[in-house]
Amino acid sequence: MFKSAHELVQEARKSIKECLPAEIHDKMAIPDTLLVDVREPDEYQQGHLSGAENIPRGLLEFKISNEPTLQNLTRPIIVYCKNSGRAALSVVAMQAMGFKNVVSLAGGIEAWVADDRAVDKPRVIAFE
């Protein structure tokens, strides 16, 4: 039976913890918390949460598998994307990999911005 991406995301949300922007803001203050932006690099460049590491959804499991510094299974991890679909799928994958303390930003960066929270944007280099 075919399942759409929307159905997969809805199913994923049943097995993960999603936190609102205010909760995520508090969690970001916990020492050693890893903040993972699973959007594509061009999306990340348009604005991201301060301190976030950009690991696109399509590379997540491979990057984690090849980077020992990302393999701490008890480290607090916050995952986000544009509106939380890719993040939900990412959290399910990370839980399957053994991670114990990983959450998703409910509503993604769109909810973060709607809540009047700051994002970092790379400085544009002027060539004049």
Q: How confident is the model at residue 75 (pLDDT cuts 50, 70, 90)?
A: very high
Residue 86, pLDDT score? 98
Residue 127, pLDDT score? 75
C-alpha pair distances (Å), 31 with each of 2, 40, 63, 123: 42, 26, 22, 27
In this prediction, residues 90-106 reach a mean pLDDT of 98
Q: How far apart are CA 37 and CA 52, in angstroms?
A: 6
Residue 32, pLDDT score? 95
Q: How far apart are CA 14 and CA 102, in angstroms?
A: 14
Q: How far apart are CA 37 and CA 48, in angstroms?
A: 8
User: Does 128 have pLDDT greater than 90?
Assistant: no
In this prediction, residues 11-31 reach a mean pLDDT of 96
Residue ranges of domains in the chain, CATH in brackets? 16-114 (3.40.250.10)
Residue 123, pLDDT score? 76
Task: Give me the phi and psi of 79, to 5 degrees please.
Answer: -120, 140
